[in-house]
Amino acid sequence: MNIQQKPDTLFDRLRNVSTALALFALALIVALPMAASAVGMAAVPESEQRAFAAEVAAAGGPSTDSVLATLAEARIQSSILAAIARPAEKKPWKDYRPIFLTDERVDGGRVFYEEHRELLDRIAAEYGVPAEIIVAIIGVETRYGRITGSYRVLDALSTLAFHYPPRAPFFRSELKQLFLLGDMHLAYPIDELKGSYAGAMGWGQFMPSSIASYARDGDGDSRIDLWNSVPDIVASVANYFSRHGWETGAPVAERVHPVANARRVEPNGLEPVYSVEQMEIWGYAPVSHVDPQRASNLLVLEADRGDEYWLTFKNFYVISRYNRSPLYSMAVWQLAQKIAQTMGTTMDTTTGTATGAAAGMAG
Ligand SMILES: [Ca+2]
């Protein structure tokens, strides 16, 4: 759910979309008659809209006619197609890190944490996910709720579902889920919802499918409001991590200084598939002690002073379920550590949890 990206799998999928396909989609939209843009979804064959609407109705959503009426309000936005066609960030870590690890964002996290301390510590204990990880996610996604997206979600999802062939099935599914969510899961009527150009919503930038699967009612009013209820937002992010397998008290990542003739590790990726013991044999001994049997993987970051080598573990992988970029995961984790530091707690890198008198964490 990066800067303005969606939660879950989207970012990774986006980065894999070829520019050629994206430009093809853009060409299609540009080729549409002006009138089509002006009147919304008119350029989509009526049969396709009707089939979609009938599918939503059959799945227990609003009636076919109601869905069609809402779709008629959707506006195709060439700016959405342009945004999604933009090549995914290929910045090296040394240029990516400064975007998120700013004093302003760290201080914003401290303010947010202090303001909602009781809630955050309670939710952290309940879900077994460190409070500063939850705070960091909200900070990276939306600057603590300040930038939640200015696109109409209906426009975003309709545009991408019906006019972006490379990812149409995914966005069609998300649009369908949006209609199925209903009033209990959305703070506003569908045609008034605002979000990212990819349709991600609220302080944690949840896609409709993530709201359906992971959103939680944190304040007990039997509704889920990811725009206005901080308890709902915090509980939902914590639940997202918990449900994706966050290991309470387990490490996230650990620096390594490889030996000169360290073996190349390939493939390497986000999934922890090599034991720490194996990595040590290959020339990557962690700086601090880690259980030799713990599963890990190697991450190499292009930093200011040359390459940085890291062993990453299951919890690093879990962060990446929010956004498939390893840079994203590292930024969230380091921001979380900095926030913990400013709170007078220290996020122990060997346990992945905050410790200290002020932490108040049960996780
Ligand atoms: Ca609620």
Report which DSSP code applies to 206: B
- d(Cα 73, Cα 162) in Å, to the nearest integer? 14
Residue 43: band (very low, low, confident or very high) from pLDDT cuts 50, 70, 90 = low
**pLDDT at site 172:** 97
| pLDDT > 60? residue 253 | yes
Task: From 225, 226, 186, 184, select the one nearest 204 (Cα to Cα).
Answer: 226
Q: Which pLDDT does position 234 carry in this prediction?
A: 98
pLDDT band at 85 (very low <50, low <70, confident <90, very high): confident
CB count in 10 Å sphere of residue 201: 29
In percent, how much of the chain has pLDDT > 70?
82
| Per-chain mean pLDDT for the chain | 87
Among the listed residues 132, 141, 174, 254, the single catalytic one is 141
* Over residues 163-191, mean pLDDT: 96
Ligand 1 ion: nearby residues, β-carbon < 5 Å: 217, 219, 221, 223, 229, 232
Contacts of the segment 23-27: beta carbons below 8 A, 24+ positions apart: 23/85, 24/165, 25/81, 25/85, 25/163, 25/164, 25/165, 25/166, 26/78, 26/81, 26/82, 26/85
Q: How far is the CA of 191 from the centre of ligand 1 (A)?
A: 21
pTM as predicted: 0.85
- Is the pLDDT reported for residue 45 higher than 90? no
Query: How far is ligand 1, taken at its centre, from the CA of residue 170, in Å?
Result: 28
Centre of ligand 1 from the C-alpha of residue 230, in Å: 9
Residue 302 reports pLDDT greater than 60? yes
More confident residue, 152 or 36: 152
| Cα 55 to ligand 1 centre (Å) | 29
- 187 CA to centre of ligand 1 in angstroms: 10
Amino acid 9: pLDDT: 37
Q: What are phi and psi of 35, to 5 degrees?
A: -60, -35
Q: Quick one: average pLDDT of 273-296?
A: 96
Give the Å distance between the CA of 185 and the centre of ligand 1: 9
Structure tokens that stand for 129 in this block: 């996910």
Residue 255 belongs to what H/E stretch?
strand 253-256
Position 41: which residue type? M
Tokens of 248: 């309470």
For 76-121, the DSSP string reads --HHHHHHHHSPPP---HHHHHHHHS-HHHHHHHHHHHHHTHHHHH
Question: Does the annotation count 280 as an active-site position?
Answer: no
What is the structure's pLDDT at 344? Answer: 83
pLDDT in tens, 22-39: 445 545 444 444 434 444
What's the pLDDT band for 267 if we cut at 50, 70, 90?
A: confident
Residue 361 has pLDDT above 80, yes or no: no
pLDDT at position 41 is: 53
Question: What sign has the CA pseudo-torsion 236, 248, 143, 271?
Answer: negative
Q: Is the dihedral of CA 297, 99, 333, 144 positive or negative?
A: negative
Dist. CA 185–CA 194, nearest whole Å: 14
Mean pLDDT value across residues 58-84: 95
Please name every residue paired with 302 in a beta bridge, in sequence order, or none if there are none: 307
| Contact present, 112 and 146 (Cβ < 8 Å) | no
Question: Residue 216 Cα, ligand 1 centroid: separation in angstroms?
Answer: 7
Q: Which two tokens stand for residue 33?
A: 């008659």
Indicate the burial class of 124 (C-beta count within 10 angstroms; 0-12, 13-18, 19 or more): buried
Q: What is the mean pLDDT of residues 356-361?
A: 36
Q: How far is the CA of 301 from the centre of ligand 1 (A)?
A: 40
Instruction: State residue 348 phi and psi, 5-degree precision.
Output: -65, 120
Over the stretch 199-251, which tens digit does the pLDDT of each residue have? 999 999 999 999 999 999 999 999 999 999 999 999 999 999 999 999 999 99
Give me ligand 1 centre to Cα 214, in Å. Answer: 13
